Chains A and B, each alone.
Chain A
Amino acid sequence: MKRVLVLTLLLAGCGSPAATSTGGDITVFAAASLTESFTKLGTAFEAAHPGSKVRFSFAGSSALAQQINQGAPADVFAAAAPANMKQVTDTGAVTATPATFARNTLQIAVPRGNPGRVTGLADFAKADLKIALCAEQVPCGAAAKKVFEAAGVKAAPDTLEQDVKAVLTKVSLGEVDAALVYRTDVKAAGGKVEGEDFAEAANAVNDYPVAPLAKAPNAPTAKAFVDFVLSGRGREVLIEAGFSAP
């Protein structure tokens, strides 16, 4: 029985990447900011690889990294920052070299109609405006810190949220006048949130790495999915969601 399994694995590993070697279920752990684009990619992947099924677990990158290090049975990890990928390469949970598949930059997000008349980063220092930022411990907060340092603005936030989606909720409900979120989040929020570009965003460009896990239960399909994310078709979906190409 064991020999048969080893043989199958060998065949799957060494064989040419024929469509027949992929199939079955894979579980992809992906950063929360990839929710919309990866759901789309998953559907496209399933159509291109009949018999395969992609399941997603979307959450904060560091929470996912911890789950992986604790032995969560995932096949692929797509993180919102190289630091989170490092958490799993450090422990050997990922042995392949991670590939950068997308870039994300910050945008100023304001509720529809811009009630606080926010026009630039300098407005984030105004005490009378309600401001939401990500906490420094999460990637979007670290990025925000960088751009404020680059702009020389001392931000006066009213809340430091636990993830970028929580920040976005506060903006779309109109509870805050301005926030810093990723460009992709503004796009995903539809018409409820308006985005404004700012020059200092170039100081905190976020790279998104992806890699198959060393102990992926379904290694061939995991690899095929990573390749698909890096392919032209994958890039198209990601750019449509507001990411830029690496």
Chain B
Amino acid sequence: MRSRLPVVLVLPAVIGLVFLLVPLAGLLINAPWATLPAQLFSQEVGQALRLSLICASLATVVCLVLGVPLAWLLARSDLPGRGVLRALVTVPLVLPPVVGGVALLLVLGRRGVVGQYLDQWFGISLPFTTAGVVLAEAFVAMPFLVISVEGALRAADPRYEEAAATLGASRWLTFRRVTLPGVMPGVIAGTVLCWARALGEFGATITFAGNFPGRTTTMPLAVYLALETDPDAAIVLSIVLLLVSVAVLAGLRDKWISGPS
């Protein structure tokens, strides 16, 4: 049986889809297809792409390790001022990324509040390093993970956890065996968002980690600089970044999110 789709929903949905996809079509139409293969396999592109994938993945790991517990704290604990904390966690979402980068410099830079001790005591200087790129990306991307995991946790039925507790499970065991599997779709959606955001990160990265080929030049930075002199190259780089991210995201989706839920 077929039910009629309501026009009130379908029309804006289609407009929304077109709105999101037309800029992508613009890139594809303007792509210099003749020189594309040569650009694709140039050393700089390979270097920037590899660095982007590595940094975005490491940043996502950082976000998972720190973000999931943070989401749990926000959703399950009875901390005073939880609402304020939750709002504060979303600050990197609102902050222009360049400002986020400056903030990171002020804290972790060579003269920063914390950074000056890192430098003096351990000789660690984070700006202009690959580790700096990972940090900048994690800073900007973590709220996406926290918010989606927290939403899933709040929507989950706490009675399962209570049941586990009455059966004698510790809180850690309950978290691992009951809570986490229950919110897995939320965690995966958050991870995907977080990774995608990290991959496209520009402002905080170039401000905090700078731009040096092979060390801190990720794809978005390469795209921006290419735009200055060679818009065609910038389009090619953008398409490469898009294709790779779409391929990875589609692959993950098939593997983890499909099937009966």
Contacts and interface: CB of A to CB of B under 8 A. Distances in A.
A159 B225 contact: no
B231 A137 contact: no
A137 B210 contact: no
A170 B228 contact: no
Nearest to A135: B225
B224 A162 contact: yes
Nearest to A158: B128
Nearest to B110: A175
B211 interface: yes
A173 B228 contact: no
Contacts of B206: 161-162, 166
A160 B105 contact: no
Contact of B212 (A138, A157, A170): A157
A174 interface: yes
Contacts of A138: 225, 228
A130 B128 CA distance: 9
Chain B interface residue count: which class?
20 to 34
A159 B212 contact: yes
A5 B18 CA distance: 38
Interface in B222-248: 224-229, 231
B156 to A, nearest CB: 44
A66 interface: yes
B106 A173 contact: yes
Nearest to B116: A174
B231 A66 contact: yes
Interface residues of A, number: 21
Contacts of A161: 206, 210-211
Nearest to B231: A66
Contact of B216 (A66, A159, A169): A159
B207 interface: yes
B82 interface: no
Contacts of A60: 228
Given A135-B228, A137-B225, A160 B106 contact: no
Interface in B74-90: none
A159 B207 contact: no
Nearest to B106: A173
A173 B229 contact: no
B127 interface: yes
18 contacts: A60-B228, A63-B227, A132-B210, A137-B228, A157-B212, A158-B128, A158-B210, A159-B211, A160-B213, A161-B206, A161-B210, A169-B102, A170-B127, A170-B210, A174-B111, A175-B109, A175-B111, A175-B127
Interface of B: 102, 105-106, 109-111, 125, 127-128, 206-207, 209-213, 216, 221, 224-229, 231
Give the top 9 A-B pairs by smallest Cβ distance, nearest first.
A159-B210, A137-B228, A174-B111, A158-B128, A137-B229, A62-B228, A137-B225, A175-B109, A160-B211
